[in-house]
């Protein structure tokens, strides 16, 4: 089941077009990453998802309900931590959660369970004004999980968390997605965390989705991969030949190395052509296959 569907969404702020027509969907039980540089349109997209602003064109649906036309029904299925969690600093952590629990008709037992899940049981009765940023993030996550929402939206959720908190957060999100069938939409600058956590990831830049790709066993499945090649001599000859091959998208010399962006699975063909042209290969290896390399390819324009 598609929990979240974004179709043809565009958004202007003033005269500037921030989102230029994006299409996305997130399924039940899926953890979906949303990556891009500052100013790419991530926060604007998330603000539209939670109904804070409306798109100029296109539709956003949550569990089949249009966010703009059926806001109450759509957002009833959503839990969110957008930017800094909205909390009452003069109340305790428990009192903050109980305010939401009363609105959503959730029992004290469920609230206590969430408190233990996010690791706040020793400080839950303290005033929120005494909380660290990481503790506020934990409390915000607990608040977002009240009532088992169908869609959990998280904007920089590990901000302020120490390594232990990040690991705890990861387990809570994975458990919510896999055991409860919750769809998770997460925007983060920590690429390694997204790679560890997510099933799919979208790369957005300048308001346009550059690519949506799957992650398996912490490796991004891509149509392109990055290689580093070292030849004994005639680097310029090798570069000229490489640029003529159909499998090569980009080839540049960086000091003693040739850096390549190539079609996945084409390494053997490239080596064969080098040998046929009597170019001696000293070394060839694949570079990182993780999000960092893919991010550079899609958002930064290729290898540096």
- Residue 172's contacts (CB-CB under 8 Å, 6 or more residues apart) are 117, 118, 141, 145
- Does residue 110 share a domain with residue 51? yes
Number of domain units in the chain: 2
Task: Please state, in angstroms and rounded to a whole number, the distance separating the CA atoms of residues 92 and 182.
Answer: 28
Length of the chain: 304
How confident is the prediction along the chain (304 residues), in pLDDT tens digits per residue? 899 999 999 999 999 999 999 999 999 999 999 999 888 999 999 999 999 999 999 999 999 999 999 999 999 999 998 767 788 999 999 999 999 999 889 999 999 999 998 989 999 999 999 998 888 989 999 999 999 999 999 998 887 788 888 888 888 899 889 888 999 999 988 888 888 899 999 999 999 998 888 887 666 666 677 788 888 787 888 888 888 988 888 888 887 888 888 888 888 988 888 888 888 888 888 765 567 777 777 776 654 4
Cα torsion for 104, 110, 111, 113, to the nearest 10°?
A: -150
Task: Please state, in angstroms and rounded to a whole number, the distance separating the CA atoms of residues 247 and 262.
Answer: 6
User: Whole domain around residue 243: which residue ranges?
Assistant: 224-288
Q: What is the pTM of this model?
A: 0.77
- Does residue 208 share a domain with residue 67? yes
- Does residue 200 share a domain with residue 262? no
> Is 301 among the domain residues?
no
- Does residue 182 share a domain with residue 56? yes
> Is 294 among the domain residues?
no
Burial class, 162, CB count within 10 angstroms (exposed 0-12 / middle 13-18 / buried 19+): exposed
- Does residue 137 share a domain with residue 243? no
- Does residue 85 share a domain with residue 135? yes
């Amino acid at each position: 089941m598609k929990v979240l569907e974004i179709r043809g969404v565009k958004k202007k702020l003033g005269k500037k077009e921030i989102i230029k027509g994006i299409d996305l969907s997130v399924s039940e039980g899926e953890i979906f990453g949303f990556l891009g540089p500052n100013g790419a349109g991530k926060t604007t997209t998330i603000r539209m998802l939670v109904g804070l602003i409306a798109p100029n064109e296109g539709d956003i649906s949550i569990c089949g309900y249009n966010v703009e036309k059926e806001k109450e029904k759509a957002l009833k299925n959503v839990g969110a931590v957008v930017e800094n969690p909205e909390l009452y600093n003069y109340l305790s952590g428990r009192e903050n959660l109980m305010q939401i629990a009363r609105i959503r008709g959730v029992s004290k037992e469920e609230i206590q369970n969430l408190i233990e899940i996010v690791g706040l049981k020793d400080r839950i009765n303290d005033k929120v004004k005494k909380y660290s940023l990481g503790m506020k993030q934990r409390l915000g996550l607990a608040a977002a999980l009240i009532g088992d929402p169908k869609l959990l939206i998280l904007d920089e959720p590990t901000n302020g968390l120490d390594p232990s908190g990040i690991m705890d957060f990861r387990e809570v999100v994975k458990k919510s997605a896999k055991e409860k069938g919750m769809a998770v939409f997460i925007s983060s600058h920590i690429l390694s965390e997204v790679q560890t956590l997510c099933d799919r990831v979208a790369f957005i830049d300048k308001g346009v989705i550059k690519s949506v790709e799957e992650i398996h066993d912490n490796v991004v499945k891509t149509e392109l991969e990055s290689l580093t090649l070292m030849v004994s001599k005639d680097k310029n000859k090798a570069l000229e030949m490489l640029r003529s091959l159909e499998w090569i998208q980009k080839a540049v010399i960086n000091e003693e190395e040739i850096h390549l962006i190539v079609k996945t699975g084409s390494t053997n063909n490239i080596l064969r052509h080098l040998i046929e042209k009597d170019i001696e290969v000293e070394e060839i290896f694949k570079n990182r296959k993780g999000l960092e390399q893919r991010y550079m390819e899609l958002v930064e324009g290729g290898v540096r």
